Structure 1
C-alpha cells in the first residue's frame, strides 16, 4: 500500500486589515493556530501562514505533502508565476530559505470554502 500525499491547509488573516496577524495550519485532523504574529496586511498574513505550513511539514518530517491555500496571489508568487514585490519579496525569500535546496514544495490554490485552515480561523471570530 502506498502512502498518500499529506494535504496541509494554510490561511492567514488580520482584523482589521491591516492589523494583528493570525494564521492557521490544518493537517491530518490537527489544527495549529498562531495569534498575535505582529501587525500587517492580509498578504503578510497569508505569507506567514504559508511559511508556517512549510515549517509544520519540516518539523514533523513529512516528505510527501502539498500546501493548500486560498490566496491566489501568494500561491502564484510562491510558484514564481508572478513577481513578489515589497514585503512579499522578503516573505518569499524566507519561504525559499526554509524550503532549502531540494525539490520546491508543492503549493496549490484552492477555493475558500475548501480551505480547512480558513474554516478554523473563521471559528475564532463567530459572527
Structure 2
C-alpha cells in the first residue's frame, strides 16, 4: 500500500511601510520563518509578489515537489493562478519572474487564505513588535 504524504504548506506575505515605501517579505515553511527586509521601495502588491517569488524559491529549495503557496493577497493569488491579468508593467515583471522560476515544472498551487491563518503575516507583525 502506498503511503500518501502531506502537501507541504508554504506561507508568504509581503508589506511596506508606508504604502508605497520600504518593502519586506516573509515566508514560513515547516515552522521556520524566512524574513527579508530592505528589499527595495514599492507598493504592497510589489511586496506581496516578492514574497510569493521568495516562497517559490524556498519551496523549490526544500526538495519537495508537492507543495502549495498560501497567501492572503487576493489580487496576487489571482494573478499567480492566471485568473486575473497583471495591471501595470511592475506587476507583469513580477509575474514573469515567477513564471521563469516555475520553468518547465508543473504550475504551483497558489491558494488564498485568511489573514489570521497566514503564518508569514504573523511573522511580519512580530518583527515590528520588537
Query: Counterpart in 2 of 1:8?
Result: 10
Query: Counterpart in 2 of 1:97?
Result: 100
Query: Counterpart in 2 of 1:44?
Result: 46
Cα deviation, residue 89, structure 1: 0.5
Query: Counterpart in 2 of 1:111?
Result: 114
Moved over 3 A (4+): none
d(CA) in 1 for partners of 2:104 and 2:25? 26
d(CA) in 1 for partners of 2:105 and 2:62? 17
Query: Counterpart in 2 of 1:27?
Result: 29
Which runs of 5 or more structure 2 residues have no equivalent in the other structure? none
| CA root-mean-square deviation | 1.1
Cα deviation, residue 125, structure 1: 1.4
Cα deviation, residue 126, structure 1: 2.3
**Per-residue CA shift, 1:12-68, capped at 9, x if unaligned?**
001111111100000111110000000000000000000000000111212110000
What SS does the aligned partner of 2:33 have? strand
What TM-score comes out, normalization by structure 2 length?
Answer: 0.94
